[in-house]
Each structure stands twice: as C-alpha cells, then as structure tokens.
Amino acid sequence: MTPMPNAVITGIDTHAHIFRRDLPMVAGRRYSPDYDATVEQYLAHLDACGLSHGVLIQPSFLGTDNHYMVAALQRFPERLRGVAVVDAQISDGELDELAAAGVVGIRLNLIGKLLEDYTGPAWSGLFRRLARRGWQVEIQRGFADLALAVPAILESGVTVVIDHFGLPAASVQLDDPQHAPFFDLLGQAPVWIKLSAAYRSQSDLARARAIEARLREACGGVGRFLWGSDWPNTQFESQTRYDEQFALLEALLPDPEERRRVLVDNPATLFGFAHA
C-alpha cells in the first residue's frame, strides 16, 4: 500500500475500537456495550500519551457493517488506519471503497467459533485478493489453535497479524513441545505479533515478560512486534485504563530503541503510515 504523508510519527497504537451503544449489533454476540466509545475520546487518549497515530479495529459485535469505523477514518485520514470485518464473498469494488477510506486489512475474530476451511475457494480467494493489495489478515484465536489456522492463510501470500500475544491461557506452558508449531510459525516473515491486552490471558507483568521473551526468541527480535491499547478494553473496562496499558509496554520494553521500533518503525511500515 502507498503511504500517505502525515505529521511526524511519535507512536502508533495498532489496536483500538470505537462504537456507539445504539448501533445495530449482530445476533449471537458475546458482548453488548452499554456505553459509547467515540473517535474523539480515542484521539484524546493518544494525545495524552504523546502518540500521534492509531489503528481502529472493527468490533466483532458490529459484524461486517464497518460504516461507523469508516466514517471516523474519513474524518481523520492522516492519523488513523482501519482493519475491517468482511464476508469472504466481498466484492473488489467494496474492498476498493474500504481502501479509499484507509482500511488496510481484515480481522478474523475466531474466539468461540469453529475453525473454517481457510483452504476453500471463498476464503483462499479473498486472502489472495488481499495479498495483491498489500493488506493483512489479523487473527484473534486461542494460543493452542493458532498453528491450525495460520498456515493455510499464509499460503495465499497475505501478511498475518496475531492479536494479544497469541492469547496464551494461564495454564499454557511456553516450553511445552506441543506449542512448537506455533513458535515455528513466527519464524516466517509475514507473521506479526501484537503486544496487547495481556489481561485477556490473565497475564500479570511477570507473565507478560515471559511470553514476550519467548515470542522474541521465536521471531528473532522485535522487528515484527506491534503495540495496541485494546481501548476501551471491552469486558475489562473496570480493570484497566489506557495509560496503564501504555505503561505496560514501557515496562516490557525498557530499551528506548526497541520501544521506538515497536511504537513507530514497525507499525509505520505495516499500516502504511509515512514518516514526515
């Protein structure tokens, strides 16, 4: 994707959600917000932490209706990018419209769902179309199953981004041989990892550090790490705040140069932000 010129990049939050409680929501959803999370509120959090840019992720409970997110991207095209939720049969024209608004990828939230056959013609065809556009496929799935879903998607040539440290449950032993296939996957260049939402896998700072160290070993450094606030921390709103999530990153990556790579260089490349 062609980078768009913008202000100096001081930091990019690669994972946040916006929504209103009165928007149409999908049936069978796991969560229904009773508050609004607006783009203005989000940008205020970025400003408070000295961050210049952000990436909006379509909330699962809004399904494939990306209009609210797209409207925010159109209002703030220099500061924001988006990751949409789409059907496998989405047309090229619809993808063009999303791209024009600043969407750079799609998300598969696979929590609580049966894994589909991603080698089938509909999904593999979509992934190839996304690969030609330079888009990414972002995946949220439990740690143990990632090695089952990701290889078929990588075969299309598309870039893969894994949410939330890979969601390793508290019971997961990082040195267990059964998890070797997942760590082997991380040796492949198209796989990126978001250091985000450690609380979703019940990880305190010590556990997050252990997970980050194992991921770093598998990836050969921090060159494919990203950071996301996961704002507004749905279902965990009472347990954390934006500034606390930013502080966690600072604790995980005390080296300023490594932190700059994760906050600036890596996401600027992946999401198409241009350095001024």
* 189-221 residue pLDDT tens: 789 999 999 999 999 999 999 999 999 999 999
pLDDT confidence of 2, banded at 50, 70, 90? very low
pLDDT at 67 over 70: yes
Q: Quote the mean pLDDT of the chain.
A: 92
pLDDT for residue 74: 98
CA 201, distance to chain mean position in Å, is 16
What burial letters (b/e) apply to 171-199, b meaning 16+ CB within 10 Å? ebebeeeebeebbebbeeebbbbbbbbbb
Q: Please, which residues have CB within 8 angstroms of residue 211's CB and are 6 or more apart in sequence?
A: 165, 166, 168, 174, 198, 203
pLDDT at 6 over 60: no
pLDDT for residue 48: 98
pLDDT for residue 19: 98
* Per-residue pLDDT reduced to its tens digit, 74-131: 999 999 999 999 999 999 999 999 999 999 999 998 877 766 777 789 999 999 999 9
pLDDT confidence of 276, banded at 50, 70, 90? very low
- Round to whole Å and give the CA distance between 229 and 214: 21
pLDDT for residue 7: 65
Backbone angles phi, psi at 190, to 5 degrees: -75, 5
Environment class of 24 (CB within 10 Å of its CB; exposed 0-12, middle 13-18, buried 19+): exposed
Q: Please, which residues have CB within 8 angstroms of residue 20's CB and are 6 or more apart in sequence?
A: 36, 37, 38, 68
For the residues 4-26, what does the mean pLDDT come to?
Answer: 89
Structure tokens belonging to residue 125: 């065809």
- What angle is formed at CA 189 by the lines to CA 98 and CA 6, rounded to 5 degrees? 45
pLDDT for residue 3: 44
- Round to whole Å and give the CA distance between 51 and 13: 7
More reliable by pLDDT, 181 or 69: 69
* Per-residue pLDDT reduced to its tens digit, 122-131: 999 999 999 9
More reliable by pLDDT, 275 or 164: 164
- Round to whole Å and give the CA distance between 83 and 64: 11
As a whole-number percent, the residues of the chain with pLDDT over 70 amount to: 95
- Round to whole Å and give the CA distance between 138 and 106: 6
As a whole-number percent, the residues of the chain with pLDDT over 90 amount to: 75
pLDDT for residue 10: 97
Strand ranges of the sheet holding 225-228, from the earlier edge strand across to the other edge = 12-16, 53-57, 80-84, 103-109, 136-140, 159-162, 191-196, 225-228
For the residues 139-146, what does the mean pLDDT come to?
Answer: 85
Q: Please, which residues have CB within 8 angstroms of residue 9's CB and are 6 or more apart in sequence?
A: 52, 53, 264, 268, 273, 275, 276
pTM of the model: 0.94
- Round to whole Å and give the CA distance between 131 and 27: 30
pLDDT confidence of 132, banded at 50, 70, 90? very high
pLDDT confidence of 5, banded at 50, 70, 90? very low
Residue 63, CB-side half-sphere exposure with 13 Å CA sphere: 9
Residue 130, CB-side half-sphere exposure with 13 Å CA sphere: 32
pLDDT at 46 over 80: yes
Per DSSP bridges, beta strands 12-16 and 53-57 are parallel
